[in-house]
Amino acid sequence: KQEVTQIPAALSVPEGENLVLNCSFTDSAIYNLQWFRQDPGKGLTSLLLIQSSQREQTSGRLNASLDKSSGRSTLYIAASQPGDSATYLCAVLETGTASKLTFGTGTRLQVTL
């Protein structure tokens, strides 16, 4: 059974810092990995999707990497801003699971002024 773990569970950084969020998964047989952002009481916003054949994806200040063989992904946020404060979730799409995502419990990020 696939398990997705995110470390740390919570993180507080001052504005302007670069930071890394970690995601690990137990079964490397995945199609892709998605990073999402969730604001309190809201739905999920897709940030980046990395295919199993890819090593990284970039969007603006965000960079996500994937090491499928070791079951790890990182989300790098450059020059953090207070507006980045949210919970960040990673999710993997396993092969043969009819597009069922398995989610981690998330990292709650707070960027302070």
> Rounded to an integer, what distance in angstroms lies between the CA atom of residue 85 and that of residue 12?
9
CB 57 within 8 A of CB 63: yes
Work out which of 68, 104, 107, 111 binds another protein, going by CB under 8 A.
104
The C-alpha R_g of the chain, in whole angstroms, comes to: 13
Q: 74-105 b/e with 16+ CB inside 10 Å = b?
A: bbebeebeeebbbbbbbbbbbeeeeeebbebe
Q: How far is the CB of 87 from another protein (least distance, A)?
A: 9
Minimum distance from CB of 76 to another protein (Å)? 20
35/53 Cα distance (integer angstroms) = 16
Q: State which of positions 67-96 bind another protein (CB under 8 A).
A: 89, 91, 93, 95
SS3 82: helix
Q: Which of 59, 100, 110, 112 binds another protein (CB under 8 A)?
A: 100
The nearest distance, CB 112 to another protein, in angstroms, is 21
Which residues, numbered 9-68, are part of the site for another protein (CB under 8 A)? Answer: 31-32, 34, 36, 41-46, 49, 51-52
For another protein, the binding residues (CB under 8 A) are 4, 31-32, 34, 36, 41-46, 49, 51-52, 89, 91, 93, 95, 98-101, 103-106
